[in-house]
Structures are given as C-alpha cells and as structure tokens.
Structure 1
C-alpha cells in the first residue's frame, strides 16, 4: 500500500522538487515575456549606440597674403565671437591705402586746376561768338550802305569813288565776319573738359575701397563662439590667401548624429524629443530634439555612380539582407562644453509621440547599449 501511494504522486520528484521539464517550460515562458517587453520598449523608444557628436566647423583662412605678426590663440583654445585669432602684417596694406588716398588728393587738385582752364576756354569761346555777332552786324550795315549808294550813281547824286568805297567796305565786313566765325569755331574746339579726370577719380576711389578692405582682412577675428583645432603654425609664418591656418568648431550648437535602421524611421519627425548620453561620461544625460533626418546615403550595391557628399554607412553583413541605416541629426539642448567633442561616441534614445521629456525618458536612457 505504501508503494502504491508513492507511485500515485508523479508531479514531484525526489525531495519534493519540480520536474526539469516544468522548469524549462517556465524559463521559456519568462524569456518570451521579456522578449515581448523588450520589443515593445524598442518600438516605443528607438535607441542606438551607433551615434557620434557633431558640430559645424569652418576653415579659418586669410583673405590676403602676409606674415603673421600676432597669434594670440593656441590649439584647442575656446574663443568668443570677436576675439582676435591672428594678425597679418598690416604695413603693406597701410602703405597701399595711404598711396591711394594721396593719389585721390592729387587728382582732385588737378581737376580743380583743369576746371579753371576749361572755364577760361569757355570765356574765350563766348567772346569769339560775340565778335562774330559784331562782325555780322558790321557786314550787314556795309551791305545796306552799298545797296543804297549804287542806285544814286546813275542819277549823279554820288560819285563812282564813293560807290567803290561802299563796295570795299562791304567786302571787308564780309571778310571780317568769316574770320570771326573761324575764331569762334577754334575757341569752341579748344574748350576741353574734366570728364576724363573725373573717371580717373572713380578708379582711385575703388582702389581706396580695396585697400581699406585688404587692411581689414589683415585682422582676423572669430566669427562666432568656438574652439580652435588643428593649429599647426606660429608667429612669423607667411600666410597665403585662401590657405587654411586652422579649423574653428562652432560650439554654439552641438549635434549628435545617430544612425537608425530604416525600419525604425516611422514616426520620427523633426522636433521629436530625444535623450542623449556620451560614452565618455555615461552618468550625464542630455535632452535634445531631432533637427533633421537624412534623405540620402551612399550605397555599395549595384555599382551605381552616386553623387559625392552623401554619408557612407557600411553594412555589417553582406551575405544577408540587412536594413539600411540613415543618419538622424539631433540638436542637443544645454550641452556640457567640457564634455562634447566632435566625433565622441554617443547613445541616443528617441521618444516618438511625446511633446517633452519626463522622468520615464531618463529612466529609459539609463539602459546601457547592447
């Protein structure tokens, strides 16, 4: 009877322990539940550790040639907008500006003197025109006298000598009129002008403007708050125009570029909240929002001739079809200026469908990357 009782309790093994199959089944059920929870969390808050810190940069290049006489910055130094970055020897450009200004003064004096001469020529031309009018009046009077005198010769009221004198006077008046007209034409032709000199003044004024601009270019200041990097020169180096001296990182705005799979892009929009932390200090969390989502990447497939400039993202597996990844640019709010560096590895957690951050966001971000 005792043995029969023992055989009638198959649910337990020796020592009252559950069977191994039941334990395995429970483990599988728990694993499936955890898998569902993880998938749900990933769908609600996409995350990736394929991300890096990014900021806009500019190459600081001089726009004039010259020797660097002042270089108050050093490599990796933070600068403020308007701070002096370097000074190119301004003496050649000061001399050019002084020479151009002196040329303008001399030209103005020449224009003034020439204008006086032109005024005198104009007075002579006016006098010549007045002489023409006098000669014309005298010629007309002589002609009138001749017309009145000639009929009187037939009746004997005047002598032939008097008629001859009237004819001579008429011819002489006509000759004087022709000479006066010729002198008037010569006087009018002699009147010059200052138009050519005024045109030269415009050229010199343009030279002055160029010299002033070159002198201004000799002093290079920071266009925005930033940090100097890749500085490999010193005072005394000859700087060539349009050749970079160093790079300036724009520290006014910091971004994190996160590469998300194309299957995760649904629901991502500019303005979507995000939580960011850097691998250099995982204890600090930073809030941000999507600034933009990439619309093109370079692909290795198909042998296509792709336009330059597209981001290249290497697929980790080539023998299976892997979801492509696209860069999502996130603007970071209140970044730590001592922590953010271009290229730093980062982790990003997105919060689609939320208007802001809450404690739950920070809790999600505390998870470490896989």
Structure 2
C-alpha cells in the first residue's frame, strides 16, 4: 500500500470517501438495509493507507456517522444499534493495530536494507571515478529492491601491465554469491599485479574459485560457476585487450555508434575451464579519442519486453553534438532497459563505463591501426 499511496497520493482519502458513500447509501435505502459494514471496512483500510493520527480521526468520524445513522432510524438504543456501533469500534481498533504492525515491519525492513546495503558496498565498493588516464562510472542495481545483495561483480586495478578491468556474474544469489564475489574480487586485485597475461590471470582466478568451492563443498557452491570478462587497457590508452570467459561481450561507443566487441573464440565460464583442452584466447582492439567502453552483465542483455524480445544495447542512443560522459552513458542505458522491460527487472544489473581523460587521449592518427593490422578487427553488429 505504500507504493499505492506514493504513486496516487489521493488514495489516502479513500477511507473517508467510503464512509461518506456508506452514509449516503444508508440514508437513501430502506430501513431494513444497512451500509455499516462498509464503514467498518473503511476503518480497517484507514489503518493501511493513513498515518496513525489520520486513521484515529477517521475512526472517530466513522463512529459519529454510525451513531447518527442509528439515531435516524431509531435503533440507537436497540440491540442492532449496539452491534453496529461495537462493530465499527472494533474495526477502528483493528485498523490502528494493522497500522502499528505495518510500521514495525517497515522499521525492520529499513534496518535490513541498511545492513544489506552496507554489506553490498563492502563487498562491491564503487570504483574511483579516475584511474590513471581513465574516467570510470559504475552502477549496480539488484533485481529485487528488498534483496540488495546479488551475484554481479566488477573491479578495476592500475597495474604495471596496464589498467585491468574485471566484470563477472556469479551463478546464484544471496550470501552464497557474496562469498564467491568476495573471493573473485580479492583474487583479481592480487593477481592482476603479478600476472603478465590475461590468460594467466584468468587461470589464477579460476584456481581461487576452485579452492573456495573445495572449502565449501557441503554448500550449494558445488554447482556454481562464474562468467567473467577481463580487460586490459595500456597506459597510453591506445589498445584494448579482452579475454571473455562466457560473459556478455562489451560495447565500444564511437561517434555515437554502439559496437559489440565479440570474441573470436569465447571461453567457458570460470569453474568450467577443465571441460575443454583449448583455453580462451585474448582479442585486441584499437582505441581512439572519445571512445567509451561499456561493460554489462546479463541483467542488461537479457532484459525482455512484453513480447519476450531481449534488449540490444547497440540500440542505445547518445548525444549527437558532444561526446557523452561515462555517467551519462550508464544513465541512458538504465533508462533504456527500464523502458524496454516495462519497469520489470528479473536479474541484477551491473554496468561499467570507461573513457579516456581529455588530457590523456591519443589522437586518431596515432591510435587508429590499419584495417588489417594485427589488432582484432571489429564490425558493427
């Protein structure tokens, strides 16, 4: 009911309206018919829709109306009149008790949300807005507003090998996913500084998750796996290297166009790498001035409209006259997904947007390789 009154504030006046309608109806119908049950229902509804003081005053008004109606037909001193008045009085008390229980529930939920939010921020803190030459924006939205702990993860580290980015999606929710998220992010922050290749970094992450799974073999972790995308941008901001382990591909935003960076040979998620003998390979892409990289989880790519169609981030529209900032890209993406899904969100949605700082952007002449350079060619989807 809180959502109802927040969306339609006039709904708070519904109990008073019902009492007025009941009084008019009782006055216009024959004496053998009574509308007092509707007055009693309005008193209970007032406890849900109104404040405690509003519900109390509405109950007092309902009792006065009931007494006047009984007085009008001459049953005020009779058994029927006393039954109606006691019924309304009990309805008032029930409405006030309902209001008290809902208020107590709201206080408990607020406390739980606060704890869950603090835990989420501790496990998945917001990255800095500036990492080396990169400007960064991140957004995380849980699938359920009352369960703010999900299984999406992201992290960014400035290392001797370049600026490395991780975004992943843990299969599962709740505390179990939090445990795996903590292991994944901790392993990434440590291994990113000591592994020269993305393939070796992915192997280290997988080993960490396997050790965590072995330690919790008695829990539901036995069947967990994690999709992951590991990226590396050189400190000059000219080259992007990607290793995709079963995660949705990232997107390159260039000159207002959104281009999907599909892997040449996608790998299996972390935790399933031993199922194939050939490990995933790294793809290389060139970067130019004003490029923005967009990393998402499947909460974006699997958002469905009313017909069941998935959302395609390449449909995202951006400002035409000036380059968008990372924060603007995430705001427009969140709004587009919300409108596409009609306000429904069945999965967590983590998004990360990265661009070069203006003072550190390479020129297009320096950064653009030839069409058939060793850099992995990409084509708009």
- Normalised to the residue count of structure 2, the TM-score between the two structures is 0.20
Q: TM-score, normalised by structure 1?
A: 0.20
Structure of higher CA gyration radius: 1
